[in-house]
Structure 1
Amino acid sequence: MDDVKLDLARTALVMIDLQHGIVPRPWAPYTGEQVVGNCVLLSQEMRNRGAMVVYVHVLLNELLVRQVDVPASAPGVAPPPPQASQLVPEAGVEATDVVVVKRSWGAFYGTELDQLLRRRGIKTILMAGIATNMGVESTARAAFDHGYDLVFAEDAMTSFSAEAHRFACENMFRRMGRVRTTTHLLQALRAGTGEA
């Protein structure tokens, strides 16, 4: 496995949907709390080294409702409360971080994310968040199409099932970028090598 050199001045950590209406759900292979914990470790390390930290959250009540075979919620279910769209306090958002609001699965469409990244000269995105094969993958595909290099923190993501998570990490993300564990990334950052 080749190392990845991270130029932290040109790298951003982008974390997807660490919010009240998503984190507590039943996820696999990692719980929402485990993902948030690993995201916090990564964000602290990136922040300490002057790298860009981005939190993305979705406005659940503003998602476009489409005709699909498997709807996001059952008919007649009350809409989520406004707090469901807010980031969980455990995620550790700080004043210097960027917060992006989205209204679809991916974080690029209809948001200012691409412009914010380009203004900072970002070339590499370190991806994390929930769910692996929905918000994270949707954002990663758009980032790939926009020409960004990608690194995925495998255990700072989770999905509806361990199989869905594993499929995305092994079959999709390795074709779009590099997949590493949080520990691997942190060790590289702490060693000051910028290699993951």
Structure 2
Amino acid sequence: MSTEDALAIDPKTTALVLVDFQRGVVEGMGGATALGPHTAEDAVGRARRTATALRELGGLVVMVRGSMGLSGVPFPAPRTDAGVPAGVPVPPHWAEIVPRLTDCADHVVTKHQWGSFYGTDLEVLLRRNGVTTLLLAGVATNLGVESAAREAYDRGFEQVLIEDATTAFDAAAHRDSVSRVMPLLGRVRSTEQVLAAFARH
């Protein structure tokens, strides 16, 4: 994580976008495959701290959750070498926000693909609220979170990945995304660095 420059954040033009902090991901997949390098409990706790602090300063908090549809796969679903097998039942709680974050969001956006922007009203919501900077956190770093970051970069948003409020199903994949991809799309900081930026403002 960089410490080269003091992070400047204007809460009034900032949104915290929490990606896939939902029971089907955190409890379902996370239960079958341990999350890393940060535990689900730690990532959720840091996301909550950031959300609470930002909302107190007048910032926006948006929860993005993935709805896989009744078939258990995204739609449309092009063929891939590694994907969710067709016909896998979707748990009824799949898209439910994890309990510790249910009261944190100003808006909930439902997506049907990896990305948070494609086919959703996320961009309209952000633009109409005057948002120019995104704080990103969620599960999994190299999948839904990175997809959101790529889309946000293409749309000209400033963005900061909150590294320790983000985790993955593979710690190596998390580290690769954080070190190789995310610095090309924005800045990578810790929860404490983001909270310190709030305090400076």
TM-score after normalising by structure 2: 0.89
CA deviation map 1:66-107 (0-9, x unaligned): 31111224x66x41222111111111434x611101001111
CA RMSD across the alignment: 1.5
Aligned-pair identity (%): 41
Tell me how far 1:44 sits from its aligned partner. Answer: 0.4
TM-score after normalising by structure 1: 0.91
1:46 aligns with 54
2:196 aligns with 187
CA deviation map 1:171-192 (0-9, x unaligned): 1111111111111211232x2x
**Counterpart-to-counterpart distance in 1, 2:169 and 2:140:** 7
Shift in alpha-carbon separation, 1:103–1:144, aligned structure 2, 3 A: same
* Contact kept? 1:12, 1:122, Cα under 8 Å: yes
1:90 aligns with 100
List structure 1 runs of 4+ shifted beyond 6 angstroms.
none
Q: Secondary structure at the match of 2:183?
A: helix
**Counterpart-to-counterpart distance in 2, 1:175 and 1:112:** 25
Question: For structure 1, which runs of at least 5 residues remain unmatched after alignment?
Answer: none
Total equivalences in the alignment = 189
**Counterpart-to-counterpart distance in 1, 2:92 and 2:99:** 15
1:134 aligns with 143
Question: For structure 2, which runs of at least 5 residues remain unmatched after alignment?
Answer: none
The answer to whether residue 132 in structure 2 is matched with residue 123 in structure 1 is yes
CA deviation map 1:149-174 (0-9, x unaligned): 01110001011211111111111111
The answer to whether residue 66 in structure 2 is matched with residue 66 in structure 1 is no
* Contact kept? 1:61, 1:79, Cα under 8 Å: no
* Contact kept? 1:55, 1:93, Cα under 8 Å: no
- Which of 34, 37, 51 does residue 29 from structure 1 map onto? 37
